[in-house]
Amino acid sequence: MRRALTCACALALALVASHPAAAQGEPQPKLPTTPLTIGMYIIHAELAVTPDQQETGMMFRRRMGDSDGMLFVDDHRSVRCFWMHNTLLPLSIAFIADDGRIVNLADMAPQTDATHCSTQPVRYALEVPLGWFAKRGFKAGDRLRGAPFGS
């Protein structure tokens, strides 16, 4: 679930509770995907573009394929923060610059309100199964390729 640093927790929880999928405890339907590549690997990334899609994110999903992910796309760069409220799966997140370069990575435990933020303003964040980047040796500075990044 996405949150800007300036967002108050009470407001954020109210927004989650008011969202139909979140209120019912159901995952959103699978979103359109785009292929992203890094090294020799392909990630089939669902595109979370609208505020509602980003509010729900991966909440209430019970499984995720090893090559699946969710790319959060924003219109403008800012420090992006995520937490795992109502997210059942452990995830890793990459905060990504406009050119596809990974700015920083974080591992996120399920069903927590601990925040994980980008270290600089970004437009993109990619959630994948926990440990995906570490298992393949990827780190900050490595580059993803795909249509969202113009490559």
Identify residue 36 by its one-letter amino acid code: L
Domains and CATH numbers, the chain: 2-149 (2.60.120.1140)
Q: Are 128 and 91 in contact (CB under 8 A)?
A: yes
Q: Are 23 and 14 in contact (CB under 8 A)?
A: no
Backbone torsion region of residue 85, taken as left when φ is above 0, otherwise alpha when ψ lies between -120 and 50, otherwise beta: beta
pLDDT by position in tens, the chain (length 151): 444 433 333 333 333 444 445 546 788 899 999 999 999 999 999 999 999 999 999 999 999 999 999 999 999 999 999 999 999 999 999 999 999 999 999 999 999 999 999 999 999 999 999 999 999 999 999 999 999 999 8
